[in-house]
Structure 1
Amino acid sequence: MLVHLISLLAPLIGIAAAQCPDYLDYATLKHQPYSEGVRNLSYQRPDPACRTFDLPLLENKIIPHVMHAVPDPDLFRLFLNAYPNTLDTAVRWKGYAADSADEELTFLVTGDIDAMWLRDSANQMQSYLPLLTANSSVDSLASLFRGVINLQARYLLTSPYCNAFQPPVESGIAPAQNPSASEDHVFPTYNNSSVFECKYELDSLAAFLQISSDYYNATGDVAFFGKYHWVEAINHLFEIFETLSAAATYEPDGRVQNSSYTFTRVSNRATETLSNDGLGNPYRGETGLLRSAFRPSDDATIYQYLIPANMMLAHYLEATAPIMLALNGSTCSVTSAQMIQLAATIRRGIAEYGIVTIGGKQVYAYEVDGYGSANIMDDANIPSLLSAPFLGYLDVNDEVYQNTRALLLSDRNPYFMRGPVISAVGGPHNGPGYAWPMASIVRILTSDNDTEITEQLGMILNSTDGLGLIHESINTFNQTDYTRQWFSWANGLFGQMILDLQDRKPQILAQSFQ
């Protein structure tokens, strides 16, 4: 059915398969056929011959199923454009390791930047979890997951404090240039031929555990984790965790402790570098929390105990522990009990240092330093405080979370952006006045309120400027003023949200948004 639909659409798009225009340019333009709703949303999928990965299950079953469940032409068009976006545009290369004939590798870019972020690639793949099943075929979704996990393991073994990476040498793709990082001073040092940027973000390390547990829980394929370099990467990660657990700015006698990571960059943006000559603001030791120099937005932390990142790590340590248990007898020096123990330590640290009282109610702080300072805000990027239930860290009805949620979705959060186009959490990455649809999507995924969900869906639909893609951020008073027309993670997350609503709130998807 859908194959027939595509065959009808392709001539209208007017793209010869052999040409395959750069999607960075293609996504800035509107393409027929339009959605025929009041928003007249563009068709934004590349020609079938130009898509970077073909998934028949998505084309032949999922999309037709959603088409029947979503009668609103604009909402369905946004799903049709957005959900396949990573598969359509971001699988830059898929192949095998040079030193291991059957070790799959997948180089997955963020979209408009030709580099692979650990966090983004894990989340881009997570969007397709509803479609993931055990499959040994090299052209399967499971193979795509395995390739990302294997390449992430390689990256972590070479530069565990870095966040974004260059194409593997096997791909033959030239390394991308990153002018912003050309003058960075980073310790530990790294090689530009393999690293695109080296901002240490705790959630990048947690992302490796996330995609590992996602794949294992969906497929039960424990044998995969005993091959190649996954066990080695876990051993190395725990060395980093032990270093971070023992870290503090000052030694017990008052001397400044040698830091395992420092970063400075010449920039006119304060969020692009760490204070105190690359050390960042002081943080106290023995809190149970792990330091993060940068946020998932790639902005510098103010206080280095980033609570959402610690939440994410705690949960995915717990989620990965069953893999270690199933690998009993492997060469891994890390046990499932150690994973559970570290997660418990982090949870105690969050409970002791990450909860503060605002207006007589307990809420989670975004960042703390262990000395009593706390940053009360949220950022749109995941992990965020708003996303804590989505991450699996806590139940959505948790009292402290609900108190926190009420604060974050109000003017008490300095980065909650309001306007007639969209009202949602933003962040310092794009600054005041720019709301992120990703935060609206997370709000829907963590809500049971039909009115709230319907309102947020309407705002997202009104924020695409007719292009029919989920942008990074939008001026809350002007939908034509946005950043990144092509942001694969956010597009995939939107589709994941639609599938979630199809299961738990089908009546909302059956509404008209005209």
Structure 2
Amino acid sequence: MMKGILTRFLAVVAGFAIGIHAQCPNYAQYSQQVHEPLSTGRYALPYQRPSPECRTFNSSIVEETITRMATIIKDPDLFRLFENSFPNTLDTAVKWRGVAADNSAEELTFLITGDINAMWLRDSANQMQSYLSLVQASDSKDSLASLYRGVINLQARYILQAPFCNSFQPPVESGIGPSQNQQNPDIFTPPVPTSIAFECKYELDSLAAFLEISTNYYEATGDLEFFRKFKWVETIKTILNTTESLLIGTYARDGSVNTIPYTWKRNTDSATETLDNNGRGNPVLEGTGLVRSAFRPSDDSTIFQLFIPANMMFSRYLDTTSEIMAQIGDQRNLANHMHNFAQRIREGITQHGIVNHPKFGQIYAFEVDGYGSQNIMDDANIPSLLSAPFFGYTNTSDPIYQNTRKMILSPYNPYYMKGPVISAVGGPTQLIFHLAHAGLGLAWPMSSIIQIFTTSSTSEIKDYLHQILSSADGLGLIHESVNSFDAKKWTRQWFSWANGLFGQCLLDLEKRGLGGVLGASFQGGYGRLFG
């Protein structure tokens, strides 16, 4: 009885909030228009933030940070890009906040990726990470910590319901109806109702994202009690069961074909949207210690399912969450199991993921199959090989990483898009709602941002910052991808993850003692070093 009353009350509150925001402009359209005042630099960038009453979440500490950075970032265009980009997730993507119908203490945050009314596990964890340096322990419902808890709790619900899925529909408590994904597969096991999942591409990094956001919240707040509540431990067990089931090889020792827990086959004209071998993917050797991933963080299918960047990320955050698990009581055995599993994956990466390149020497492969096949490339989406130090698997002084980085930022990476506008990593053509939104010749500013995170060279950093500025097409936000020869050809004006990452990057420069770069002027342009 009480549960039904609470559900109806939450629906009324959600409807009231939706009614208020119905009066606000559609940001997907708003962000493609020029709004004054313009910045006073050579690019004359517009002010792209919605008015305060139309922002989906207001944070005083974020506003204070923007005000403070105005005194540090001297170039007016660079500051305008920061001012628009850093708060973009809070301004536009917090679609709904509330509590669980069966537990009023369980906060929930439905965080959309931007122009699609669905919540990706990977994107939402990274969107929140943009504000990690500002998170403080707080019980306030208006705090960044509350947003974090809400995302973690909702991700936990999603993983428990459908651990092989990557993006999800609004929670029933929100009163928001589900969105339809027109790209449903022909064969998919295990099946999941479309009322729960938006799409069910199994990506190892989606599960790693839950471990990442859990680690980030704990390290920022020290709030151990939160992990004792709700369904966090149960979710960790589900993640372990799911990933351990995907250690299996294609063939058993007697030569018979193993039954695998996940398949995906779609009727499509794009190879990145389906798996061969009737939805199973290419064969994988048993006993490598690496976890299979059917898809990459770009939502493109893997060629070889032992996808190294996701295994790196999963190993790194499985280890850190094992430390949380060890402290919450009566879970020492589970914590030890998590730690040992993380170590075995790291050993598998060392044994199978490090290969010899004829020009660059020892490097990390992008994908392997355990049989000796290897895919030498990198993709712009995180986790990538380029971003390995960013998410803490290794550090930039690692010689194998440095060799890999040189390969990635060279013509030897088949998806390094070089041009006079921007030179950065891109990726294969991928389809969303039957529309290609990336592909050959399209570089991702997200990759340029990661290039900044992984270097201390001020000249290199200045060059990348200038590329990002000059590729914004005068619209004042970070695009998903940009034609490396024509800044007016781009995909996705509104991509809140990339925007927040840019703001996070400038704050990181200040933290690393490279804040002097932020005092540089880009009004006369900056000599291209890598284009």
The 8 Å contact of residues 364 and 404 in structure 1, kept in 2 or not, is answered as yes
Decide which of 143, 146, 151 is 1:148's aligned counterpart: 151
RMSD over aligned CA atoms reads 1.2
Q: Distance in 2 between matches of 1:184 and 1:423?
A: 38
- Unaligned residue ranges in structure 2 (runs of 5+): 1-19, 431-437, 524-531
Q: What is residue 204 of structure 1 aligned with on the other side?
A: 206
Which amino acid in the other structure matches residue 494 of structure 1?
F
Count of residue pairs the alignment pairs up: 494
TM-score by length of 2: 0.92
Q: Distance in 1 between matches of 2:136 and 2:44?
A: 36
Q: What is residue 227 of structure 1 aligned with on the other side?
A: 229
Matched ranges for 1:92-241 at <5 A: 92-181=95-184, 183-241=185-243
1:85 aligns with 2:91: no
Which amino acid in the other structure matches residue 190 of structure 1?
V
Which amino acid in the other structure matches residue 448 of structure 2?
S
Q: What is residue 41 of structure 1 aligned with on the other side?
A: 45
Secondary structure at the aligned position of 2:456 is classed as coil
Report the alpha carbon displacement of residue 17 of structure 1 after superposing the two structures with TM: 8.5
Report the alpha carbon displacement of residue 336 of structure 1 after superposing the two structures with TM: 1.8
Which amino acid in the other structure matches residue 89 of structure 1?
T
The 8 Å contact of residues 189 and 261 in structure 2, kept in 1 or not, is answered as yes
Matched ranges for 1:59-458 at <5 A: 59=63, 61-181=64-184, 183-245=185-247, 247-329=248-330, 335-359=334-358, 361-428=361-428, 429=430, 430-458=438-466
Which amino acid in the other structure matches residue 493 of structure 1?
L
The 8 Å contact of residues 246 and 260 in structure 2, kept in 1 or not, is answered as no
Distance 1:363 1:50, change over 3 A: same
The 8 Å contact of residues 17 and 48 in structure 1, kept in 2 or not, is answered as no
Which amino acid in the other structure matches residue 499 of structure 1?
L
Which amino acid in the other structure matches residue 51 of structure 2?
D
The 8 Å contact of residues 235 and 333 in structure 1, kept in 2 or not, is answered as no
Q: What is residue 9 of structure 1 aligned with on the other side?
A: none
Which amino acid in the other structure matches residue 304 of structure 1?
Q
Which amino acid in the other structure matches residue 47 of structure 1?
S
Q: Distance in 2 between matches of 1:320 and 1:114?
A: 29
CA offsets per residue over residues 396-422 of structure 1, 9 Å max, x none?
110100000011100000000001110
Decide which of 495, 520, 527 is 1:511's aligned counterpart: 520
Secondary structure at the aligned position of 2:198 is classed as strand
Report the alpha carbon displacement of residue 498 of structure 1 after superposing the two structures with TM: 0.5
Report the alpha carbon displacement of residue 185 of structure 1 after superposing the two structures with TM: 2.1
Q: What is residue 30 of structure 2 aligned with on the other side?
A: 26
Q: What is residue 469 of structure 2 aligned with on the other side?
A: 461
Report the alpha carbon displacement of residue 19 of structure 1 after superposing the two structures with TM: 2.8
CA offsets per residue over residues 230-287 of structure 1, 9 Å max, x none?
1111111111122122x11111111111111000111111100111110001110100
Q: What is residue 6 of structure 2 aligned with on the other side?
A: none
CA offsets per residue over residues 2-36 of structure 1, 9 Å max, x none?
xxxxxxxxxxxxxx988311101111111111111
Report the alpha carbon displacement of residue 81 of structure 1 after superposing the two structures with TM: 0.3
Q: Distance in 2 between matches of 1:340 and 1:40?
A: 51
Q: Distance in 2 between matches of 1:185 and 1:174?
A: 25
Which amino acid in the other structure matches residue 209 of structure 2?
A
Q: What is residue 8 of structure 2 aligned with on the other side?
A: none
Secondary structure at the aligned position of 2:471 is classed as coil
Which amino acid in the other structure matches residue 112 of structure 1?
D
Q: Distance in 1 between matches of 2:297 and 2:332?
A: 29
CA offsets per residue over residues 344-392 of structure 1, 9 Å max, x none?
1001100000011012610000000000000000000000000000010
CA offsets per residue over residues 22-66 of structure 1, 9 Å max, x none?
10111111111111110011111001100000101111x201111
Report the alpha carbon displacement of residue 321 of structure 1 after superposing the two structures with TM: 1.4
Report the alpha carbon displacement of residue 499 of structure 1 after superposing the two structures with TM: 0.2
Secondary structure at the aligned position of 2:343 is classed as helix
Decide which of 501, 506, 509 is 1:498's aligned counterpart: 506
Report the alpha carbon displacement of residue 325 of structure 1 after superposing the two structures with TM: 1.1
Q: What is residue 497 of structure 2 aligned with on the other side?
A: 489
Q: Distance in 2 between matches of 1:427 and 1:231?
A: 36
Report the alpha carbon displacement of residue 334 of structure 1 after superposing the two structures with TM: 5.8
Structure 1 residue ranges, 4+ long, deviating more than 4 angstroms after superposition: none
Q: Distance in 1 between matches of 2:22 and 2:423?
A: 42
TM-score by length of 1: 0.95
Report the alpha carbon displacement of residue 333 of structure 1 after superposing the two structures with TM: 8.3
Which amino acid in the other structure matches residue 260 of structure 1?
P
Q: Distance in 1 between matches of 2:186 and 2:475?
A: 36
Q: Distance in 1 between matches of 2:291 and 2:119?
A: 24
Secondary structure at the aligned position of 2:506 is classed as helix
